[in-house]
Homo-oligomer: A and B are copies of this chain.
Amino acid sequence: MPNIRDIAKRAGVSVTTVSRVMNDHPYVKEEKRERVLSAMKELKYTRNIQAVHLAKGYSNMLGIVLPTIDHSYFSGIVTGIAEKAQECGMHFALFQTGYDPLKEKEALMSLKEQRVDGLIFCSNALSDRDILKWQESGPIIFCHPTPHDPCSSVSIAHDQAFKEALEHLAACGHERIAIVLARTEGENSQVRIQTYQEMMRSLGQDIDDEWVIEGKLTIFDGKQLFTEWKEMKNRPTALLITNDDVSAGFLLEAQRHQINVGESPAILGFQNDQLSEALGISSIDIPLKQMGQEAFDLFKQALQGEAPEKRVLSYRLVERTTTILKNNR
């Protein structure tokens, strides 16, 4: 592989001039520029991007941290990030953690080593605060609400959405409501559980321990959830499920058992992807792609030294067939 010196020699100019040509600097005489360009063509020259990065002090590479790419929630966010990144000619690497804090630490190490210029966390097992300690090495963006920390984040108003979801189920006449959480929530799940408890109190409904269900993420988990639901002694009449792959699994398994979902059990999901639409699942729509795009925006802003910013995106309740309003409003 020829390097910049070979080109300079061949074109009869200095390396600086070659560098100038490559970086579109002004002050290069047309004639020399041409000589350089044809030398590059003749030798099939390509710059060594690593050398560029070392000299410039950045990597032009973004790290995306997520538990797994094999789930539509995360691939939805990544799609949004990727779109924007591509526009700026920025590349990105994926760090799959499987919710393992050690893997998250490795991603943070990659930031410190300058393998990446910044990180977007789509989900984290480590606490936000622990992660933010690494900010001095580069921008860090979260994809969940971060009310208590000075940092950039983008998300929907999870608590509010969660509350509205519960209210919807209540408006459908349900009092015995269960909630199903993924492991994604981390710090937020406490808030959710609290919101849930308050709502149930206001409905005058005691909560059965079985009604707070955690660790459900996939279609398979959803199928299993249905089975668990069927076997509960104190069966809830409605389930608020924070991920639609799980809702889908639940619904499909119910259908297989000839059980009609809508009146009871009712289910209300979160995410609203193609699948929920195809299955007619009532769901809180989360604009994942937009989240990704704005996360990237925030990242770029941070790179340019702007102050942290928190963006809250709007969500909306999409009523379909798995919840049925009472008293036709």
Contact = CB atoms under 8 A, between A and B. Distances in A.
A279 interface: yes
Interface in A42-97: 46-51, 53-54, 59, 61, 68-72, 75-76, 78-79, 82, 86, 91-94, 96
Given A49-B113, A109-B46, A252-B278, A70 B59 contact: no
Contacts of A72: 70, 72
A306 to B, nearest CB: 22
Interface in A243-290: 248-249, 252-253, 256, 274-275, 278-280
Interface string A85-122: 01000011110100000000000011011110000000
Give the size range of A's interface with the partner. 35 or more
Contacts of A252: 278-279
A115 B278 contact: no
A76 B248 CA distance: 19
Nearest to A245: B274
A209 to B, nearest CB: 28
A219 interface: yes
B115 A220 contact: no
A183 B15 CA distance: 46
Within the oligomer, what is the number of copies of this chain?
A: 2
Interface in A269-328: 274-275, 278-280
A223 interface: yes
A218 interface: yes
B96 A82 contact: yes
A278 B225 CA distance: 13
> Main SS of the interface on chain A?
helix
Q: Which of A49, A219, A223 has most B Cβ within 10 Å?
A: A49
Interface in A5-64: 46-51, 53-54, 59, 61
A92 B91 contact: no
B54 A82 contact: no
Contacts of A69: 69, 75, 78-79, 82
A202 to B, nearest CB: 36
A115 B61 CA distance: 10
Q: Which of A61, A69, A71, A92 has most B Cβ within 10 Å?
A: A69
Contacts of A96: 79, 82, 86
A119 B78 CA distance: 20
